[in-house]
């Protein structure tokens, strides 16, 4: 006879942090897990921002963590909303449900329904196949699902020897030209190791800022809290083998930096920056081409360029996939 599920609501940082080891074990067992639902990402996010009150549901079976719904409560002008940890910086979100344990979703649902102080529950940026899309609608609630964000995704070929063979011809030509320009100046792409993460982050912040300053705009890394988040999360992601970090070095200078993630069948292009003084060498093109090739050689079957429909993404042959937004609202005057 199976032991009953025991669901608890995590309300403090100390309780959330204490979950880390079991959280990693559950994350590795979940087929839909991404780096954005890992402890490395979400613990750093909560510690950096803390925008509300924790309402994270943890479900155990015989003492083993089998389910996690990482949310917090925001009490603001839009009502008392349950929002996912990582919102804003995470391009993908989902619940973590152990596929070998039946009834976990129902246990999460029951625990969330027992919380009296929310009016709406927002499950944001859900990719195709997300476990959160299968969650039953609680009694006395309405349920709405709609398209939220486009994610251009490039399907990778089985041919690991020439992983770039299926790119559009125009992009392959531009990549070759950029490669020749970099080679003439002795440029190389370096892989950044875990122990070099602090130096890489310094390069990334500088180059990302230079790129946006040239456009007379502030980039995402201009926010102190965002920089604190990356200072905390990236070393943990690199230690867990999830980060893919590359520098382009030309004549002794760092011309570009690429920050990607890798897990399961997918690679993710998260953030980058380059020195405008090296724009003729196209550092962004060189680094993204290198990242795509490396991902294919590792066995990834798709290269996810994440949210945003910037034109350059489609030049690589990417096609849109859509994240979904699911909103569950309590019925009544405050729902």
Q: 240-271 pLDDT, tens per residue?
A: 999 999 999 999 999 999 999 999 999 999 99
> Mean pLDDT across the stretch 133-158?
94
Residue 54 lies in a domain: yes
Q: Tell how far CA 18 is from the center of its chain.
A: 22
Let me know how long the chain is: 335
Distance CA 264, CA 271 (A): 20
Q: Is the pLDDT reported for residue 221 higher than 70?
A: yes
Please give the share of the chain, as a percent, with pLDDT higher than 90.
87
Write down the pLDDT at residue 2.
66
- Phi-psi category of residue 262: left, alpha or beta, with phi > 0 → left and psi -120 to 50 → alpha: beta
> Mean pLDDT across the stretch 314-321?
97
120 and 10 within one domain: yes
Residue 103 lies in a domain: yes
Residue 307 lies in a domain: no
285 with 136: CB under 8 angstroms? no
179 and 86 within one domain: no
177 and 286 within one domain: yes
Roughly what angle, to the nearest 10 degrees, separates helices 224-239 and 39-49? 160
Dihedral over alpha carbons 193, 191, 167, 151 (to 10 degrees): 30
Number of compact structural domains in the chain: 2
Residue 266 has a CB neighbour count (10 Å cut-off) of 19
Roughly what angle, to the nearest 10 degrees, separates helices 283-298 and 169-184? 110
182 and 283 within one domain: yes
Q: Is the pLDDT reported for residue 307 higher than 60?
A: yes
Residues with Cβ within 8 Å of residue 45, at least 6 apart in sequence: 85, 86, 89, 90, 229, 233
207 and 284 within one domain: yes
Residue 312 lies in a domain: no
Q: Is the pLDDT reported for residue 86 higher than 70?
A: yes
Residue of 274, 273, 272, 270 whose CA lies nearest to 303: 270
Residue of 154, 137, 41, 142 whose CA lies nearest to 91: 41
Residue 305 lies in a domain: no
232 and 181 within one domain: yes
279 and 177 within one domain: yes
Is the full-model pTM beyond 0.85?
Answer: yes
Write down the pLDDT at residue 4.
85
CATH number, domain with residue 23: 3.40.630.30
174 and 145 within one domain: no
207 and 116 within one domain: no
Domain that holds residue 208: 157-300
Given the structure tokens 């603001």, which residue do they identify? Answer: 76
93 and 47 within one domain: yes
CB-count burial class (<10 Å; 0-12, 13-18, 19+) for 114 = exposed
Q: Is the pLDDT reported for residue 199 higher than 80?
A: yes
Predicted confidence (pLDDT) per residue in 1-43, tens digit: 567 899 999 999 999 999 999 999 999 999 999 999 999 999 9
Write down the pLDDT at residue 218.
58
Distance CA 315, CA 280 (A): 18
Please give the share of the chain, as a percent, with pLDDT higher than 70.
95
Residue 313 lies in a domain: no
Q: Mean pLDDT, the chain, as a whole number?
A: 93
Stated as kind and residue range, the H or E segment containing 247 is strand 243-250
Residue 249 lies in a domain: yes
237 and 170 within one domain: yes
Residue 37 lies in a domain: yes
> Mean pLDDT across the stretch 78-100?
96
206 and 131 within one domain: no
Token representation of residue 166: 């299926």
């Amino acid at each position: 006879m199976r032991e009953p599920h025991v669901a608890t609501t995590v309300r403090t940082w100390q309780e959330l942090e204490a979950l880390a080891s079991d959280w990693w074990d559950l994350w590795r067992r979940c087929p839909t897990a991404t780096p954005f639902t890992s402890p490395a990402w979400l613990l750093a996010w909560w510690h950096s921002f803390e925008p509300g009150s924790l309402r994270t549901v943890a479900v155990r079976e015989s003492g083993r963590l089998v389910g996690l719904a990482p949310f917090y409560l925001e009490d603001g002008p839009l009502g008392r909303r349950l929002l996912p940890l990582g919102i804003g910086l995470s391009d993908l979100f989902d619940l973590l449900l152990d596929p070998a344990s039946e009834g976990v979703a129902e246990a999460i649902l029951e625990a969330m329904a027992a919380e009296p102080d929310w009016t709406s529950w927002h499950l944001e940026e859900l990719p195709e196949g997300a476990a959160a899309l299968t969650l039953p609608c609680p009694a006395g609630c309405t349920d709405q699902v709609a398209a939220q964000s486009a994610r251009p995704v490039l399907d990778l070929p089985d041919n690991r020897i020439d992983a770039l063979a299926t790119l559009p011809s125009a992009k392959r030509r531009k990549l070759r030209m950029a490669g020749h320009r970099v080679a003439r100046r002795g440029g190389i792409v370096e892989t950044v190791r875990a122990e070099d993460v602090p130096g890489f982050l310094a390069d990334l912040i500088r180059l990302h800022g230079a790129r946006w300053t040239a456009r007379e705009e502030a980039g995402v890394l201009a926010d102190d809290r965002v920089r604190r988040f990356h200072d905390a999360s990236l070393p943990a992601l690199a230690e867990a083998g999830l980060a893919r970090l590359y520098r382009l070095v030309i004549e002794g200078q760092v011309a570009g930096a690429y920050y990607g993630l890798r897990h399961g069948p997918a690679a993710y292009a998260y953030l980058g920056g380059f020195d405008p003084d090296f724009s003729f060498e196209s550092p962004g093109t060189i680094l993204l081409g290198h990242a795509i090739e490396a991902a294919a050689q590792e066995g990834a079957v798709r290269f996810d360029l994440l949210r945003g429909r910037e034109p350059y993404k489609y030049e690589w042959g990417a096609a849109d996939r859509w994240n979904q937004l699911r909103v569950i609202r309590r019925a009544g005057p405050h729902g």
